[in-house]
Structure 1
Amino acid sequence: MGPQPGQKTVLITGCTPGGIGHALAIEFHAKGLHVIATARNPAVLSEMAALSMTTLALDVTKADSIKTCHDEVSKLTGGKLDILVNNAGRTHTHPATDIDMADVRETFETNVFGVMAMCAGFADLLIAARGLIINIASLAAITPYVFGSVYCATKAAVAAYSRTLRLELKPFGVRVMVAMTGTVRSQIASKVHRTLPEGSLYQRVRGLFERRLTFSQNTATVDTKEYARKLVGKALAPEWPLLFRAWFGRPDWLWAGGMAGRTWWATWFGEWLLDFVLYRMIGMPELERVLREEERQKLLK
């Protein structure tokens, strides 16, 4: 079943149950929008289909998949799309000196190039509706998230891309919101993680790295539904002049999730503060102590 006459539509990427995309789909649906939920395997979206949402297959790293999805959405909506939420992504926790470039490219394909391809591919439908693009970024875009250099780079790229996209699409009446997302409950802790290679510099503090793998699920973590309520509420807020958007209307930048508010305030003091806090929060002084002890042992020999 498609949207009813006059009903607004929202397409969300990466709607597998247990994640942010799924929670956003449920919340937009509750607010009366017709939700187009997507995933690489649409079979996992049966619950949403039962709620009369449209469910479609979509792999944001494949041009033909994006084109097929675009054509199906265009037919369904009469050539318009009110909101596009680019949520699909993958985590990438690994020391910068241990990365595998094929793995890095795969992360960029999903987190960065997939976002770019979706915005370009659906621009015509968004322009027709004078719609809204919501790109799910992360606090990692501006914080030195230790052992997350690749992930940080992808989210920083999304934030920078979105700023320019906002100006380019403004004349066409399309708005761009960037969600600077903090720690949010998800299934990330249950996924298979990368491991340290045998010769890693960080084998000395292997436990530190392993704790970091689930850091986002154990540090000021916000419930996924709570995050979704905040994002959807702001996405559907009325338009306000530029100077007042952040407080009253639909913001250009939405800071939500665990530690988001504190991180926003920290940016006013300069990057040194975030460097200082994250270095200690992750536990890097432990590595300093280990290295000092290694040097001491060498001197004793």
Structure 2
Amino acid sequence: MPSTRKTTVLITGCTPGGIGHSLATEFHRRDCHVIATARNPDVLKELEAEGFSIAQLDVTDQASVDACKIETERLTGGKLDILVNNAGRPHVIPILDGEMDDIQKTYDANVFGPMRTVKVFIPLLIKARGLVANISSNSSQIPYLFGGIYSSTKGAIDVWSRALRLELEPFHVRVMVAMTGTVKSNFAGKTHRSLPENSLYMPVKDKFEWRLTYSQNHGTYDTDRYAKAFVDSALKGEGWFGGLIGGSPSWFWCGGMATTVWLLTLLPRVMMERILSVYWGMGKMKRQIEEAARKRVD
């Protein structure tokens, strides 16, 4: 009897310690053929020794994406069942303090990166009637203190994914957006930005520094727990009645505070923003900034 073809999965951004690495491990545990990628594939040697396929992939580099597609065709026989757009770049800084070159790099990784991979890998996905899974964030739905630049990249992914879902319907390719809450990973542990000396927010520098590691200290999900729930949803397949029943969800909410954020999205935006203003302590921050301004005048 011919052997059954394994479900093929390519995941961007699989550096150890992050969500992508846990997703790769969980898909592999479910007997999928996982292609784990990273800008530096040397960090994935342990996965390769365990039977994973590994490949170099920098989603900000068109030549790298093109080369990875060729390698994926070779590894899978031309079909890709699931593309997980996980690679990304954190960005915590007050919007007014953002440097444009830095902001553009974040958009290149978080927005244009997934756009590149989908455009290049779509022939393989169409052949498999596959799934595009985009890692977004709860922060795209709420005013996220000092996280507006990062949140806006995920908001762009949300809107793009909705249109992409419609445009791919004729080709039987589905789109799942992972509305990810706080999850334990090395993502927030990367090199932090500092407030510039002339920042208007210097009087609340302590609040900014508290915010840098917020995702790792507030309702934070275990990464493996998140990965299991994600893979459960991704592997449900097409379902019935055009995916209305039993298939992979269009929107996957999971992670710390995900339910809370989802409930907040049901409120009028003015009310939601007032609630978040209280939560972030904007009243106290305002008083601190005003007091600092008065001292400078005196």
* Partners of 1:205 and 1:286 within 8 A in 2: no
* Partners of 2:90 and 2:188 within 8 A in 1: no
The TM-score with structure 1 as length reference comes to 0.93
* Partners of 1:36 and 1:56 within 8 A in 2: yes
* Partners of 2:204 and 2:289 within 8 A in 1: no
Query: Is the counterpart of residue 167 in structure 1 residue 158 in structure 2?
Result: no
Instruction: Name the SS of the counterpart of 1:258 in structure 2.
Output: coil
For 1:28, the equivalent position in structure 2 comes to 27
CA distance in 2, matches of 1:173, 1:119: 14
Instruction: Name the SS of the counterpart of 2:253 in structure 1.
Output: strand
Query: Is the counterpart of residue 211 in structure 1 residue 216 in structure 2?
Result: no
CA distance in 2, matches of 1:204, 1:39: 39
- Label 1:118 to 1:49 Cα distance change in 2 as closer, same or farther (>3 A): same
Alignment of 1:16-95 (within 5 A): 16-95=15-94
1:190, distance to aligned residue in structure 2 (A)? 2.8
For 1:146, the equivalent position in structure 2 comes to 145
Q: Root-mean-square deviation (CA), in Å? A: 1.7
Letter in 1 for 2:202: Q
Query: Is the counterpart of residue 115 in structure 1 residue 114 in structure 2?
Result: yes
1:158, distance to aligned residue in structure 2 (A)? 0.4
Instruction: Name the SS of the counterpart of 1:137 in structure 2.
Output: strand
1:292, distance to aligned residue in structure 2 (A)? 4.2
Letter in 1 for 2:252: L
CA distance in 1, matches of 2:24, 2:220: 20
Alignment of 1:161-200 (within 5 A): 161-200=160-199
1:279, distance to aligned residue in structure 2 (A)? 2.3
Unaligned runs of 5+ in 2: none
CA distance in 2, matches of 1:209, 1:73: 42
CA distance in 1, matches of 2:170, 2:27: 27
For 1:266, the equivalent position in structure 2 comes to 264
Letter in 2 for 1:88: A
1:78, distance to aligned residue in structure 2 (A)? 1.1
Identity between Structure 1 and Structure 2 (%): 51
For 1:275, the equivalent position in structure 2 comes to 273
1:76, distance to aligned residue in structure 2 (A)? 1.2
Letter in 1 for 2:29: A
For 1:12, the equivalent position in structure 2 comes to 11
CA deviation vs aligned residue, 1:197-232 (integer Å, no higher than 9, x gap): 010000000000000000001111101001101110
CA distance in 2, matches of 1:272, 1:242: 35
1:242, distance to aligned residue in structure 2 (A)? 6.0
- Label 1:96 to 1:171 Cα distance change in 2 as closer, same or farther (>3 A): same
CA deviation vs aligned residue, 1:220-248 (integer Å, no higher than 9, x gap): 11010011011100111241446855xx5
Alignment of 1:225-244 (within 5 A): 225-238=224-237, 239-241=239-241, 244=244
- Label 1:191 to 1:135 Cα distance change in 2 as closer, same or farther (>3 A): same
* Partners of 2:88 and 2:109 within 8 A in 1: yes
* Partners of 1:133 and 1:174 within 8 A in 2: yes
1:281, distance to aligned residue in structure 2 (A)? 2.8
Unaligned runs of 5+ in 1: none
- Label 1:252 to 1:298 Cα distance change in 2 as closer, same or farther (>3 A): same
1:72, distance to aligned residue in structure 2 (A)? 0.6
- Label 1:17 to 1:192 Cα distance change in 2 as closer, same or farther (>3 A): same
The TM-score with structure 2 as length reference comes to 0.94
* Partners of 1:188 and 1:214 within 8 A in 2: no
1:50, distance to aligned residue in structure 2 (A)? 1.4
* Partners of 1:166 and 1:176 within 8 A in 2: yes
Instruction: Name the SS of the counterpart of 1:122 in structure 2.
Output: helix
CA distance in 1, matches of 2:74, 2:295: 71
Instruction: Name the SS of the counterpart of 2:83 in structure 1.
Output: strand
1:266, distance to aligned residue in structure 2 (A)? 1.4
CA distance in 2, matches of 1:108, 1:45: 25
CA distance in 1, matches of 2:144, 2:240: 34
Letter in 1 for 2:34: V
Alignment length (residue pairs): 295
CA distance in 2, matches of 1:240, 1:227: 25
* Partners of 1:12 and 1:37 within 8 A in 2: yes
CA distance in 2, matches of 1:252, 1:271: 23
CA distance in 2, matches of 1:96, 1:74: 41
